[in-house]
Chains A and B, each alone.
Chain A
């Protein structure tokens, strides 16, 4: 989200400056172009430690013509010519002058102007000050967001000035909050002002407000009444955050559950429906992830414009690749092992070793980069909840896949045949169903679904030859816990394991939480040996 905002901001800035909006914004007239240029060129000189000072000096000029250069500094697009001490901005594949923004042809070797976090932070604050009165409300909003973090009493006149102009309610609110934060930093502020500021922050109710209030208490020196009010405000905020925390935990649990569901859902078919202990299931997931990688590579080199759709393109391909491997596996190995479920374990384990090593030989042992498309990056806030887009999509995706499988199983002709074969193979065969082909396609379906899961998991996990290994045990746990042969059980199993894990984690730590969930599963199986949703009927004992 932030990166996207930044990008929007950067492009709008570009437009703004290019259209010479500066006439409408009250810029101090005394900043001459040569002075600006001199200060911008100075950004490239000296050590990194000197840069904050230079940025401040440049910002002091108060000219929003400096914004482009500062943005370029933040984004690492500012280059300097050692010989002429001139500074240029990289724009696309050519260089432009930081003030006139006209393209320049430079033949000399240019060196990137270094920046570190502190430099970037200060440059961002400087930009915020320069854009506080920008006509663009989104820009102003961003400026005040930055300013809140760096609230400082020096900003007070600027804030007060902005408050008079500001019409946008959201920005105004934020300005008031900054003002409150500044007031709390000021030890000499009157008690009334402090109390009002505390009230303001209490209303804000965010973690940031909490931070400012805590800093206020830590700095002490304030009157008892103010301290008490701050203390009460902190308690109130913490209380509301604790309530949100429960929801946040449920969300984390559900999103962990959705990962488990995705990893397990293919297995729910191969293991749950067909009774094959498919130890190579994890490798099918891995194949899906590698398919995504290959798709993205091809897109990157040949069709850069399609990157945003790379995952959509990868989905059917991953299904086909993993499905084809699954099909081949069933035809060449597993079909000889029906009725010997424990031996499928050995054979598929062998297959998993071969697949891992094959991937390692082809792609190398190192992690591969699978990029997140824009629509899967970032987060947004919903009340006190912080929801990340990728988790949200994965949750939605896992449910869609789940619903899709249910449909195939219960509503399609193939699903009907599949259920018939599982329930009574010989009867199905005598009704004219080609059971071997149904077996092969069922296994291919389960593997294909695992491949699809790989596309989604490539967004949050390592894409390496070991990818499958890290999910295989969890997947089996989910299927067994939910009840073999029952898709709804897999759904409920995955989600409840996810949520349970996330509620244990804050108390027990990540490791113990995992151990405890495993122990709970072991105990649970003793109580209900056939899982949460046991299949009933005669077929079970067969």
Chain B
């Protein structure tokens, strides 16, 4: 039945994505673990965490697209939810270090020993349990989004105002996490992780599993998002995006719809953050930087917002490009990045997905006269 649902609900592109993510989740780790290093298809170990990172970014972009592309809420603070998820996971990993820290304290992380903390603060309790940490990965961003959204949507803060206060939110969190007295390691954040669920983080098998987990979870999140946007609620979200007042006058509680989208999106961002941390090996307040959140918006815009495929493509492409350019042309890569943003907003208002569609429409002009193509999305969020 599910497979039937998959086929009826999903477009070809979506099916290709899901299948290729599943294939990648199996093939890439296999190519890393099973093939000898000389083999042409061997995937070197250092690339696994890198690609895993891209997949986490893709998930984050997907989360943002759910609120921005489908619900018209441009959040400039999604990096905050990502980072909170990351911190929750990082705290678990810190607790796993146990007595192997440099000061060999059985309970306290190194930075606490160093700052003369005598006992573990209350908010660190429970993070030695994997299930609890994973619960927090979704609960903390979700709760923050709930509280923030509840206030903001109820008082009808919309459009630009909402964008700017989400930016203020992540900026305030950035400053707060920078403080050493907060108990999250200050500027250095959490680092020097040893293992996860008893497996060493430096082992190739762990890395391969984390990569596979990232790919599969991305596929899963994609499926969930697809279900949401094609459900009645999803339709309502898009209606809010197009004509908020009209939805309200029809009798729907717009703030509830928005709140739902915002909280789900924050939780997905949290999961992305939690997968990100063990793969890059560090989480620090820099992740809260407003610039990071803006970058997520840009990935989404490059790929094409209002589609679920777009943000994933955008995130993979921009980050792949970033990795390449920072090595190949370190002096000029910011020019390229800046020009890309300008070009995309000017010439590709619907992102790459929009471009594909345009090209295809042109090719199919003769054959597709009967099927009137519905716009992929509405260009403009109602202000």
Interface residues of A (CB under 8 A from B): 275, 277, 279, 333, 336-337, 339-347, 349-354, 356-358, 361, 469, 473, 476-477, 480, 484, 511-512, 514-515, 518-519, 521-523, 525-527, 529-530
Interface status of B290 (Cβ within 8 A of chain A): yes
CA distance A343 to B179 in the complex (A): 34
For the A-B complex with A346-B301, A346-B344, A522-B148 known, give 16 more contacts whose Cβ atoms are closer than 8 Å.
A333-B342, A340-B379, A341-B383, A345-B294, A349-B294, A357-B332, A358-B335, A469-B291, A512-B179, A515-B172, A515-B176, A522-B165, A525-B157, A525-B165, A526-B154, A527-B155
In the complex the two chains form, is B169's CB within 8 Å of A277's CB? no
B175 proximity list for chain A (CB < 8 A): 511, 514-515, 518
In the complex the two chains form, is A347's CB within 8 Å of B152's CB? no
CA distance A279 to B163 in the complex (A): 13
Show 17 A/B contacts (Cβ-Cβ < 8 Å), sorted by A: A277-B163, A333-B342, A336-B346, A341-B159, A347-B346, A349-B338, A350-B337, A350-B340, A350-B345, A353-B337, A354-B334, A469-B291, A511-B175, A511-B178, A514-B175, A515-B172, A526-B157
In the complex the two chains form, is B165's CB within 8 Å of A480's CB? yes
In the complex the two chains form, is A350's CB within 8 Å of B381's CB? no
CA distance A518 to B148 in the complex (A): 14
Contacts A346-B344, A525-B157, A529-B161 given; does A518 touch B338 at CB 8 Å: no
Q: Smallest CB-CB separation from B76: which chain A residue?
A: A345
Interface status of B60 (Cβ within 8 A of chain A): no
Could you tell me which residues of chain B, from 323 to 357, have a CB within 8 Å of some CB in chain A? Answer: 331-332, 334-335, 337-342, 344-346, 349
Interface status of B265 (Cβ within 8 A of chain A): no
In the complex the two chains form, is B167's CB within 8 Å of A476's CB? yes
A354 proximity list for chain B (CB < 8 A): 334-335, 338-339, 342
Q: Say how far B308's CB is from chain A's closest CB, in angstroms.
A: 20
Query: Which A-B residue pairs are the 4 nearest by beta carbons?
Result: A350-B341, A353-B338, A354-B338, A357-B334
In the complex the two chains form, is B160's CB within 8 Å of A349's CB? no
Of B156, B171, B297, B345, the residue contacting A473 (CB under 8 A) is B171
Of B155, B294, B340, the residue contacting A526 (CB under 8 A) is B155
- Residue among A339, A361, A514, A526 with max Cβ neighbours from chain B (10 Å): A526
Q: Say how far A419's CB is from chain B's closest CB, in angstroms.
A: 20
Q: How many residues of B contact A (CB 8 A)?
A: 48
Q: Say how far B49's CB is from chain A's closest CB, in angstroms.
A: 26
In the complex the two chains form, is A346's CB within 8 Å of B341's CB? yes
In the complex the two chains form, is B380's CB within 8 Å of A340's CB? yes
Contacts A279-B294, A353-B338 given; does A529 touch B380 at CB 8 Å: no
Interface of B is mostly: helix
In the complex the two chains form, is B331's CB within 8 Å of A361's CB? yes
A352 proximity list for chain B (CB < 8 A): 338
In the complex the two chains form, is B160's CB within 8 Å of A341's CB? yes
Interface status of B103 (Cβ within 8 A of chain A): no
CA distance A333 to B345 in the complex (A): 9
Q: Say how far A262's CB is from chain B's closest CB, in angstroms.
A: 19
Q: Say how far B255's CB is from chain A's closest CB, in angstroms.
A: 12
Interface status of B298 (Cβ within 8 A of chain A): yes
Q: Say how far A122's CB is from chain B's closest CB, in angstroms.
A: 41
Interface status of B31 (Cβ within 8 A of chain A): no
Contacts A342-B381, A480-B164 given; does A529 touch B340 at CB 8 Å: no
Interface status of B220 (Cβ within 8 A of chain A): no
B301 proximity list for chain A (CB < 8 A): 343, 346
B380 proximity list for chain A (CB < 8 A): 339-340
CA distance A469 to B334 in the complex (A): 15
Q: Smallest CB-CB separation from A479: which chain B residue?
A: B164
Contacts A354-B334, A526-B157 given; does A349 touch B298 at CB 8 Å: yes
Interface status of B74 (Cβ within 8 A of chain A): yes
B376 proximity list for chain A (CB < 8 A): none
A343 proximity list for chain B (CB < 8 A): 301, 345, 349
- Residue among A340, A346, A351 with max Cβ neighbours from chain B (10 Å): A346
A511 proximity list for chain B (CB < 8 A): 175-176, 178-179
B157 proximity list for chain A (CB < 8 A): 525-526, 529
CA distance A162 to B51 in the complex (A): 82
Contacts A357-B332, A529-B157 given; does A342 touch B163 at CB 8 Å: yes
Interface status of B120 (Cβ within 8 A of chain A): no
A279 proximity list for chain B (CB < 8 A): 294
A480 proximity list for chain B (CB < 8 A): 161, 164-165
CA distance A270 to B78 in the complex (A): 25
Q: Say how far A487's CB is from chain B's closest CB, in angstroms.
A: 18
CA distance A515 to B288 in the complex (A): 14
B297 proximity list for chain A (CB < 8 A): 345-346
Q: Say how far A52's CB is from chain B's closest CB, in angstroms.
A: 41
A353 proximity list for chain B (CB < 8 A): 334-335, 337-338, 341
Interface status of B7 (Cβ within 8 A of chain A): no
CA distance A491 to B127 in the complex (A): 47
A530 proximity list for chain B (CB < 8 A): 161
CA distance A299 to B139 in the complex (A): 60
Q: Say how far A452's CB is from chain B's closest CB, in angstroms.
A: 24
CA distance A358 to B334 in the complex (A): 9
- Residue among B176, B179, B290, B341 with max Cβ neighbours from chain A (10 Å): B341
CA distance A218 to B169 in the complex (A): 48
CA distance A346 to B303 in the complex (A): 13
Q: Say how far A361's CB is from chain B's closest CB, in angstroms.
A: 7
Interface status of B131 (Cβ within 8 A of chain A): no
Of A339, A476, A522, the residue contacting B172 (CB under 8 A) is A522
CA distance A352 to B74 in the complex (A): 20
A473 proximity list for chain B (CB < 8 A): 167-168, 171, 290
In the complex the two chains form, is B379's CB within 8 Å of A529's CB? no
Contacts A342-B381, A353-B341, A354-B335 given; does A477 touch B168 at CB 8 Å: yes
CA distance A339 to B157 in the complex (A): 19
Interface status of B151 (Cβ within 8 A of chain A): yes
Of B168, B179, B291, B338, the residue contacting A357 (CB under 8 A) is B338
In the complex the two chains form, is A521's CB within 8 Å of B337's CB? no
In the complex the two chains form, is B160's CB within 8 Å of A277's CB? yes
CA distance A343 to B151 in the complex (A): 25
CA distance A525 to B335 in the complex (A): 36
A521 proximity list for chain B (CB < 8 A): 165, 168
Q: Say how far A364's CB is from chain B's closest CB, in angstroms.
A: 12
Q: Say how far A188's CB is from chain B's closest CB, in angstroms.
A: 47
In the complex the two chains form, is B345's CB within 8 Å of A347's CB? yes
Q: Say how far B64's CB is from chain A's closest CB, in angstroms.
A: 12
CA distance A356 to B380 in the complex (A): 30
Q: Say how far B194's CB is from chain A's closest CB, in angstroms.
A: 31
CA distance A275 to B161 in the complex (A): 11
CA distance A512 to B335 in the complex (A): 36
A277 proximity list for chain B (CB < 8 A): 160, 163
Q: Say how far B337's CB is from chain A's closest CB, in angstroms.
A: 6
In the complex the two chains form, is A522's CB within 8 Å of B160's CB? no
CA distance A382 to B195 in the complex (A): 63
In the complex the two chains form, is B160's CB within 8 Å of A342's CB? yes
Q: Say how far B345's CB is from chain A's closest CB, in angstroms.
A: 4
Q: Say how far B273's CB is from chain A's closest CB, in angstroms.
A: 21
Q: Say how far A479's CB is from chain B's closest CB, in angstroms.
A: 9
CA distance A352 to B159 in the complex (A): 22
B167-192 interface code vs A (CB 8 A; 1 in, 0 out): 11101100110110000000000000
Q: Smallest CB-CB separation from A360: which chain B residue?
A: B334
